Structure 1
Amino acid sequence: MTVVHASQNVPFFRLMARKSAFGTNLSRRSAKRLAVLGAVCTLWAAIFAILSGPLTIVPLELAELSLQDAVVRHGTKTSTPENYVFLALDEASLDLSQLDPEEIAADPALALMAQEFPWSRAVYAAAVEKVLGAGAKTVVLDAHFPLAGEGDEVLRDILRRYPGRVVIASLYMDSEMSVAPDAVLYHPPADTIVAPGDEANASVGYANFWPEADKVVRAAHYRMTDADLLGRPGLGGEVRSSLGAIALRQAGLKQDFPAAGLMRFCQPDSFPVVPLWQLFVPDLWKANLKDGQIFRDKIVLAGPLAARFRDFFRTPVGTLPGPEIHLHAMAAAQVGAFYRRATSGFVMATCFALGAVAFGVSAWMRRPLAALAVLALALAAFMGAAFLVYDFADFLPGLLYPAATLVMAGLTCFAYDFALERREKTRVRRSLERYVSRDVVRELLDHESDVLERLGGSRQDVAVLFSDLRGFTAITEHAEPAQLVADLNEYLGAMVEIVFRNRGTLDKFIGDAVMAVWGTVDSVGPREDAARSVRTAVEMLGAVRRMRERWAQRGAPDLRLGIGLNAGPAIFGNIGSDLKMEPTVIGDTVNLASRLESLTKRYGVELLASETVAALASGEFAFRTLDTVRVVGRSTPVTIYAVPLDPDGAACRPRWLEKHEEAWAHYRARRFDRAVDLFSSIADELPRDKALLAMIDRCRGFQASPPPDEWEPVMVMESK
Structure 2
Amino acid sequence: MMVKNKELIAALFIAVVFLCLFYIKPRPLEIIDMKIYDLFFHVRGREKPPENIVIAAIDEASLEKLGRWPWSRDKIARLIDKLSEYGVAVIAVDIIFSESEKNDRLLAESISRAGNVILPVVFFFEAEEAPKEVEITESAFYILNPERFNKYQPVSSKSVLVPESILSRSAAGFGHINMFPDSDGTIRWEVLFINYYGYMIPGLSLKTAAMYLGIPPEKQLIDATKGVYLGRRYIPTDPWGKILIPYYGDNGTFKYISIADIVENRVKKEELEDKIILIGATAVGIYDLRVTPMSSALPGVEKHANVIASLIEGKSILPVSNYIVILLILVSVFLAIFLYQRLKAGYCLIVLLILMSGVFISSFYLFTKGTWLSVIYVSGGLLIHFLTTITLRYAYSEKEARRIKKIFSSYVTEKVVNELIKNPSMAKLGGERREVTVLFSDIRGFTTLSEKLLPERVVELLNEYFAQMAEIIFKWEGTLDKFIGDAIMVFWNAPLPQNDHEQRALNCAIEMIKRLRALCKKWDEEGKPQLKIGIGINTGEALVGNIGAEGKKMDYTIIGDSVNLASRLEGLNKEFNSEIIISEFTFKKLQEKIETGFFGAIDVEELGEISVKGKEQPVKIFKISVK
TM-score where L is the length of structure 2 = 0.53
Q: Which runs of 5+ in 2 are unaligned?
A: 132-155, 221-228, 236-240, 403-627
Q: Map residues 317-336 of structure 1 onto 2, 5 A cutoff.
A: 317-319=294-296, 320-336=298-314
**Which residue does the alignment assign to 1:194?**
168
Q: How do residues 158-237 of structure 1 correspond to structure 2 at under 5 angstroms?
A: 158-163=110-115, 165-173=116-124, 175-178=125-128, 184-195=158-169, 198=170, 201-226=171-196, 237=198
**Distance in 1 of aligned mates of 2:39 and 2:400:** 44
| 1:370 maps to which of 319, 344, 347 | 347
2:280 corresponds to 1:280 = no
Q: Secondary structure at the match of 1:143?
A: coil
User: Is the 1:136–1:295 contact (alpha carbons within 8 Å) kept by the matching residues of 2?
Assistant: yes
Among 22, 30, 39, the residue aligned to 1:61: 30
SS in structure 2 at match of 1:144: coil
Q: Quick one: distance in 2 between partners of 1:419 and 1:239?
A: 60
Which residue, 122, 125, 128 being the options, matches 2:74? 122
Match of 2:102 among 150, 154, 157: 150
| AA partner of residue 380 (structure 2) | A
Between the two proteins, the alignment pairs up a number of residues equal to 355
Q: Aligned to 1:170, what secondary structure does the other structure show?
A: strand
Q: Per-residue CA shift, 1:214-242, capped at 9, x if unaligned?
A: 32211222222136xxxxxxxxx112122
Q: Matches of residues 411-490 of structure 1 in structure 2 within 5 Å?
A: 411-422=387-398
Whichever residue aligns with residue 330 of structure 2, its letter is F
Residue deviations 1:17-70 (CA, integer Å, cap 9, x gap)? xxxxxxxxxxxxx4x3332221111111111110110x3322222222222222
1:94 deviates by 1.4
**3-state SS of paired residue (1:313):** strand
Is the contact between residue 78 and residue 264 of structure 1 (CA under 8 Å) also seen in structure 2?
no
User: Which of 85, 89, 94 is the matching residue for 1:137?
Assistant: 89
Give the deviation of 1:73 after TM superposition. 3.6
Deviation at 1:178, TM superposition (A): 4.8
Matched, 1:242 2:203: yes
Distance 1:56 1:250, change over 3 A: closer
**Structure 2: how far apart are the matches of 1:34 and 1:213?**
41
* Pairing partner for 1:262 from 244, 267, 290: 244
Structure 1, residues 583-606: CA drift from partner, whole Å, max 9, x if none?
A: xxxxxxxxxxxxxxxxxxxxxxxx
Residue deviations 1:680-714 (CA, integer Å, cap 9, x gap): xxxxxxxxxxxxxxxxxxxxxxxxxxxxxxxxxxx
**Equivalent position of 1:537 in the other structure:** none
- Quote the Cα distance in structure 2 between the aligned partners of 1:50 and 1:122: 58
Task: Work out the CA distance in 1 between the residues paired with 2:130 and 2:104.
Answer: 31
Q: Which amino acid aligns with 2:106?
A: V
Q: Secondary structure at the match of 1:160?
A: helix
Residue identity matched to 1:410: F
Which letter does structure 2 place at the counterpart of 1:137?
A: A
**Structure 1, gaps ≥5 residues long:** 1-29, 97-112, 228-236, 427-720
Q: Cα deviation per residue 1:662-685 (whole Å; 9 max; x = unaligned)? A: xxxxxxxxxxxxxxxxxxxxxxxx
After superposition, where does 1:598-637 map in structure 2 within 5 Å? none
> In 2, are the aligned partners of 1:132 and 1:138 still within 8 Å (CA)?
no
**Aligned residue number for residue 511 of structure 1:** none
Tell me, yes or no, if the aligned pair for 1:87 and 1:303 is still in contact at 8 Å: yes
Distance 1:38 1:77, change over 3 A: farther
Report the equivalent of 1:91. 60
Q: 1:38 and 2:8 equivalent?
A: yes
Q: Is the 8 A contact 1:169 1:204 kept in 2?
A: yes
Select which of 75, 91, 95 maps to 2:44: 75
Please tell me the residue identity of whatever aligns with 2:102: E
The one-letter amino acid paired with 1:238 is: Y
249-258 or 396-405, which deviates more: 249-258
Q: How big is each residue's C-alpha offset from its partner over 1:98-146, in whole Å with a ceiling of 9 and x where there is no partner?
A: xxxxxxxxxxxxxxx23x5321111111111111211211111111001
- In 2, are the aligned partners of 1:78 and 1:337 still within 8 Å (CA)? no
Q: 1:211 to 1:81 in 2, by over 3 A?
A: same
Tell me, yes or no, if the aligned pair for 1:263 and 1:337 is still in contact at 8 Å: no
Letter in 2 for 1:186: V
1:548-587 aligned at under 5 Å gives the runs none
8 A Cα contact 2:99 2:163, kept in partner? yes
CA distance in 2, matches of 1:95, 1:424: 70
Q: Is the 8 A contact 2:123 2:157 kept in 1?
A: no
d(CA) in 2 for partners of 1:247 and 1:395? Answer: 25
Structure 2 counterpart SS, 1:145: coil
User: Using a 3 Å threshold, how does the CA distance of structure 1 residues 58 and 179 change in structure 2: closer, same or farther?
Assistant: farther
**Does the aligned pair in 1 maintain the 2:394–2:400 contact within 8 Å?**
no
- Secondary structure, aligned partner of 2:119: strand
Quick one: distance in 2 between partners of 1:222 and 1:38? 46
TM-score (norm 1): 0.47
Q: CA contact under 8 A between 1:148 and 1:191: conserved in structure 2?
A: no
Q: Is the 8 A contact 1:357 1:406 kept in 2?
A: no
Answer yes or no: is 1:346 the counterpart of 2:328.
Answer: no
1:300 counterpart SS class: strand
User: 8 Å contact 2:279–2:301 — kept in the other structure?
Assistant: yes
CA contact (8 A) 2:245 2:307 kept: yes
Rate the CA distance shift 1:180–1:371 in 2: closer, same or farther, 3 A. Answer: farther
Structure 2: how far apart are the matches of 1:341 and 1:42?
26
Give the C-alpha shift of residue 364 in structure 1.
Answer: 1.2
Q: Using the alignment, how far apart are the partners of 2:80 and 2:38 within structure 1?
A: 36
Partner of 1:518: none
The residue matched to 1:244 in structure 2 has which SS?
helix
Q: Which has the larger radius of gyration?
A: 1
Tell me the distance in 1 between the aligned counterparts of 2:360 and 2:20.
21
Please state how far the C-alpha of 1:360 moved relative to its aligned partner: 2.7
Deviation of residue 88 (structure 1)?
0.5
Displacement of 1:246 in angstroms is 2.0
**Letter of the 2:118 counterpart:** V
**CA distance in structure 2 between the aligned counterparts of 1:263 and 1:126, rounded to whole angstroms:** 33
Distance 1:398 1:204 in 2: 35
Residue aligning to 1:651: none
